[in-house]
C-alpha cells in the first residue's frame, strides 16, 4: 500500500483525523491502524493460536524413502538405501485415512519430502492413489506438493504426479548455473543434473494441462555459489522461465542438524547481496517475492497438532529438520508409526507452544514489526540459539525501493512534500 507524503506524516504523528474516511477504511482493512486500546501483540498471537488449533485441515509430510541420489555437502541428513516395507506403507496409509475420517476434517494435505522422494516414486504413486480416492469419497479438499531435487523427473512421471497423485506444487532446488549447480549439488553417480531438471520443467511449462501447477525454484546460497547467482538469474531468464506459474526463491544455507559455519553467510551480509539479485530478477521478469503480502498464521507444521511428518524410519516428527538426522532420529521422535496405541492426532511436540514462547519474550519476535508476516520463522532455530530472521528484516527499504521502481514511482523532490 502506497500513500502520499501528507498521509504518511499523519500516520507517523498518530493524527488519524487528518486522513480521509476512505483511506482510513483501507488502513483498517489492512490493519495498518487498529482500535485504540487493542493489545496488538496478544491479538496477533491469539489469531495464530486459533489457526494452529483449527482441526479442519489434516496435514502429512511423508518420506517415501530414506535414500537420496545426491550428496550435497550442506545437507545434515544421513541417507540409507532400502525401500519401505509393505507393513510401513499400510500403517502410513491407515494413519492418513484415520485422520481424514475425523469429524472435523475438511481438507487433506499430503506433501512428499525427502531424502529424495522420487527415489520412492512407486510408493508415492501407490499411496497417493488411495489418498485421492478417499478424499474424493469424503468430499474433502485434497492438496499435494513435492520437495524434490528434480533430477529424476521426466515427462512421463511428471504427468503421473500431476494427474494421478494430484501434486500441484513442485519445489525444486537449483543452486546456480550448470557448472556451479552440478558441483554444489553433486549426484552420487557423478552425473550432472542441471540441464535434466531445467529442460524437463521448461517443457512442462508449455503444456496447457499444467497451467494450475506451480514450479518453485529454490537456490541455497553459501560462500561457494554466491558469486554465480547473477549469472544463474540471467540464464533462467534467457531460457524463458518468466512464467506466471513459476517462482524463484533465494535462501542462505543454514544448519540442518549439522555444522555449516564454514560456508554460511551472515544474515546482514546475505541480505545486502540479495538486493542485487532481487533487482536482477525484477529486470529479467523472473517471478519472486519482493515483500510478504500475507500474514503468516501458522509458522510451520511444527506448531500445528494436526500436522505431522513421518520419516522413512517410521518415526513421527513435527519438524521437517528432524527426519534422517541421526541425533534427531534418536532423541526427537514424538512416536513411531508401529505403536499400537497411537492417537489420531500426533503427541505434543517441542514447538506446539511457540506462540506462548513469543508472548513470554523467549525470542525477540514479540517486539518485531515483522512478526505478523514472519511468525518467528523457525522455532527450532530459536531453540538452538540461531535467530532465523528473514532477510527482508535487514533489507526492507531496498525491497520497497524495488517495488516502487516496478510501479514507476520515483522519490519526490525536496520541498514538494507539502
Domain ranges of the chain: 56-336
* Contact present, 363 and 243 (Cβ < 8 Å): no
Q: How far apart are CA 279 and CA 398, in angstroms?
A: 9
3-class DSSP state of 7: helix
* Contact present, 184 and 225 (Cβ < 8 Å): yes
The reported pLDDT for the residue numbered 256 is: 87
The reported pLDDT for the residue numbered 83 is: 66
**178: which 3 cell numbers?**
550448470
**321: which 3 cell numbers?**
529438520
Residue 214 CA, distance from chain mean position: 13
Q: How far apart are CA 391 and CA 282, in angstroms?
A: 17
Q: Is 13 exposed, middle or buried (0-12, 13-18, 19+ CB in 10 A)?
A: exposed
Contacts of 49 (CB under 8 A, 6+ apart): 355
Closest CA to 371 of 35, 26, 45, 29: 45
Q: Is 117 exposed, middle or buried (0-12, 13-18, 19+ CB in 10 A)?
A: buried
Sign, CA dihedral 7-9-12-18, equals negative
Cα angle 54-56-62, degrees, rounded to a multiple of 5: 95
Please state whether the peptide bond connecting residue 115 to the residue before it is cis, i.e. omega within 30 degrees of 0.
yes
Query: How many other CB atoms sit within 10 Å of the CB of residue 308?
Result: 26
Residues listed for the chain: 418
Q: How far apart are CA 391 and CA 337, in angstroms?
A: 37
* Contact present, 381 and 268 (Cβ < 8 Å): no
3-class DSSP state of 173: strand
DSSP character string of 184-199:
HS-BTTS---HHHHHH
The reported pLDDT for the residue numbered 418 is: 41
* Alpha helices, DSSP H, located in 111-177: 121-138, 155-163
pTM for the model stands at 0.94
CA dihedral 96, 100, 101, 106 (to 10 degrees): 170
The reported pLDDT for the residue numbered 4 is: 84
End-to-end CA, the chain: 20
Q: What is the mean pLDDT of each run of 10 residues along the chain (418 residues)?
A: 84 91 90 89 96 97 96 94 83 98 98 97 96 98 98 98 98 98 96 97 98 98 98 98 97 92 94 98 97 93 97 96 96 95 96 97 94 96 94 96 91 54
Q: Is 189 exposed, middle or buried (0-12, 13-18, 19+ CB in 10 A)?
A: exposed
Q: How far apart are CA 272 and CA 270, in angstroms?
A: 5
Domain 56-336: give its CATH superfamily: Aldolase class I (3.20.20.70)
Buried b (16+ CB within 10 A) or exposed e, 49-81: bebbebeebbbbbbbbbbbbbbebebbbbebee
Amino acid at each position: 500500500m502506497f500513500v502520499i507524503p501528507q498521509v504518511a506524516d499523519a500516520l507517523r504523528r498518530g493524527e488519524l483525523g487528518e486522513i480521509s474516511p476512505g483511506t482510513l477504511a483501507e488502513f483498517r482493512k489492512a490493519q495498518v491502524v487498529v482500535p485504540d486500546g487493542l493489545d496488538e501483540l496478544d491479538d496477533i498471537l491469539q489469531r495464530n493460536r486459533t489457526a494452529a488449533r483449527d482441526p479442519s485441515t489434516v496435514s502429512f509430510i511423508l518420506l517415501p524413502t530414506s535414500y537420496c541420489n545426491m550428496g550435497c555437502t550442506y545437507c545434515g541428513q544421513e541417507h540409507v538405501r532400502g525401500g519401505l516395507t509393505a507393513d510401513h506403507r499400510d500403517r502410513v496409509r491407515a494413519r492418513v485415512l484415520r485422520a481424514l475420517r475425523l469429524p472435523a476434517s475438511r481438507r487433506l494435505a499430503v506433501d512428499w519430502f525427502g531424502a529424495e522422494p522420487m527415489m520412492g516414486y512407486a510408493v508415492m504413486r501407490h499411496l497417493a492413489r488411495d489418498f485421492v480416492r478417499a478424499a474424493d469419497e469424503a468430499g474433502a479438499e485434497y492438496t499435494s506438493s513435492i520437495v524434490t531435487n528434480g533430477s529424476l523427473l521426466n515427462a512421463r512421471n511428471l504427468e503421473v504426479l500431476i494427474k494421478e497423485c494430484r501434486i500441484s506444487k513442485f519445489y525444486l532446488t537449483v543452486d546456480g548455473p550448470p557448472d556451479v549447480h552440478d558441483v554444489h549439488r553433486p549426484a552420487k553417480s557423478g552425473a550432472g543434473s542441471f540441464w535434466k531438471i531445467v529442460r524437463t520443467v521448461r517443457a512442462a511449462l508449455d503444456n496447457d494441462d499444467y497451467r494450475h501447477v506451480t514450479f518453485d525454484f529454490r537456490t541455497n546460497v553459501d560462500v561457494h555459489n554466491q558469486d554465480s547467482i547473477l549469472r544463474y538469474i540471467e540464464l533462467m531468464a534467457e531460457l524463458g522461465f518468466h512464467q506466471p506459474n513459476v517462482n524463484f526463491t533465494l535462501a542462505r544455507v543454514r544448519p540442518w542438524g549439522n555444522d555449516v559455519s564454514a560456508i554460511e553467510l551472515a544474515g546482514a551480509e546475505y541480505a545486502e547481496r540479495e538486493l542485487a539479485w532481487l533487482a536482477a530478477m525484477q529486470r529479467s521478469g523472473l517471478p519472486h517475492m519482493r515483500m510478504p503480502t500475507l500474514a503468516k498464521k501458522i509458522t510451520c507444521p511444527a506448531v500445528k497438532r494436526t500436522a505431522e511428518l513421518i520419516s522413512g524410519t517410521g518415526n513421527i516428527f513435527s519438524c521437517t529438520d528432524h527426519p534422517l538426522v541421526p541425533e534427531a532420529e534418536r532423541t526427537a521422535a514424538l512416536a513411531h508409526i508401529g505403536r499400537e496405541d497411537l492417537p489420531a492426532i500426533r503427541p505434543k511436540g517441542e514447538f506446539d507452544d511457540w506462540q506462548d514462547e513469543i508472548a513470554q519474550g523467549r525470542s525477540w519476535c514479540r517486539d518485531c514489526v515483522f512478526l505478523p508476516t514472519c511468525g518467528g520463522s523457525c522455532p527450532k532455530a530459536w531453540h538452538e540459539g540461531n535467530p532465523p530472521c528473514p532477510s527482508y528484516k535487514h533489507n526492507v527499504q531496498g525491497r520497497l525501493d524495488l517495488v516502487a521502481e516496478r510501479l514507476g514511482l520515483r522519490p519526490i523532490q525536496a520541498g514538494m512534500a507539502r
